[in-house]
Structure 1
Amino acid sequence: SGVLAVAAVKLGARESYAYDIDPQALTATNDNATANGVGPQVHVVAKDAELPANADILLANILCGPLCELAPRFAALTRPGGRIVLAGLLSHQADEVTRAHSPWFDIAPFALRDGWTALTGSRRT
């Protein structure tokens, strides 16, 4: 739906990149960005597209497996000192995701609710 990309711009980001592998999600992201008046600032990026490697903040709301598999790519996309927010995982999966990202990020939990957790961290230099 692009909710994270739209929200980022609405909350002050100059621009955001919304990446998804689902063509329907990409269409919904475009529609939602336009409906919220931030279409030009939300760049919708399809699978296998190149992304800039200097993100100040990277937000990901996906399942545990992909969060772990994508750790090296997330590190490559986030500038040193940049922040990462990882959501969409059950509380018992937090340690696994933390381990996957720990070579590049200092990770800590920041939200726990109804068995779900979100992690945040900063990219080491």
Structure 2
Amino acid sequence: MQITNEHNEKMAKMTFSSVYPHYVAKVESKGRTKEELHQVIAWLTGFDDQKVKELIDEKATFDTFFKKAELNPNAELITGVICGYRIEEIDNPLTRKVRYLDKLVDELAKGRKMEKILRKA
């Protein structure tokens, strides 16, 4: 699927707080925990639980969320298709980062082992 400028703008303006409850529901419905979700978020962004809460409370957009993040150097190892988009073909850096997070949440919900999700050797 082709990503449009409008799609990229929508991703930038979407708030993390609007998506976070869906992440929690998705992983918990598959038997995973909120703590595991936070471990995945921390691996990708460097955010601890307190920082995640602050970003939710301030209703940070994904643009702000990822500007404050220290992206894991192994994030580029996250590949595959999520929401119909091949991650490694996404040109817009912010949209790619949002899809990295979506992919990690999806892998967690599907029961993948944490060391595989966190791209450990």
TM-score, length of structure 1 as denominator length: 0.28
TM-score, length of structure 2 as denominator length: 0.29
Q: Find the structure with the greater CA-based Rg.
A: 1
Judging by fraction of residues, say which structure has more strand.
1
Using CA pairs under 8 Å that are at least 6 residues apart, name the structure with larger relative contact order, 1 or 2: 2
